[in-house]
Amino acid sequence: MSEHTEQVALFSWAKMSEGRHPQLKNIFSIPNGGKRKNGWWEKSEGLKSGVPDIFLSVAKNGKHGLYIELKYGKNKPSKNQLEWLSALSDEGYEAKVCYGFDEAKKAICDYMGIE
C-alpha cells in the first residue's frame, strides 16, 4: 500500500457512496505535489506547496468544508502542511491530517454525520 493507493481507495468509496450521500460528489483531490514537476508552469497557475491533498466542499456544523492531508505509514506532515492546516482551520474549515483510507473515511463520515 501507499499514500496513492489509500487515496484511490478513498475516492472509490466516495464514488460508490454518492447514491446514499449525494454531497460526496463534492469531494476532490488537489494535485499540489507528488511526482509532478512543480516548475514555473505549475507555479504560475497557482501551485502552492503544503496545500492539503483533499477537499470536501460541503458546509456542515458551522464549518465551510473539510480539508484532509493524507499520509500513509511513517510519513509525517511537513511544517508547511501544518501551517496550511492551521490557517484553514482559523478561516472556519475543518482541517485534518489522516493516516490512510480508514482514518480519512472516518473523518469524512464524522464530518458529514454518516454512520
The per-residue pLDDT for 47 is 81
For residue 53, give the 3-state DSSP assignment.
Answer: coil
pLDDT in tens, the chain (115 residues): 899 999 999 999 999 999 999 999 999 999 876 555 557 777 788 888 899 999 999 999 999 999 999 999 999 999 999 999 999 999 999 999 999 999 999 999 999 999 8
Q: How many domains does the chain have?
A: 1
Where in the sequence is the domain holding 77, given as residue range(s)?
Answer: 3-112
Would you state the cell numbers that stand for residue 42, as one nine-digit string?
505549475
CATH assignment of the domain containing 97: 3.40.1350.10
Query: What is the value of pTM for the model shown?
Result: 0.91
The per-residue pLDDT for 33 is 61
Is residue 84 a contact partner of residue 51, using CB atoms and an 8 Å limit? yes
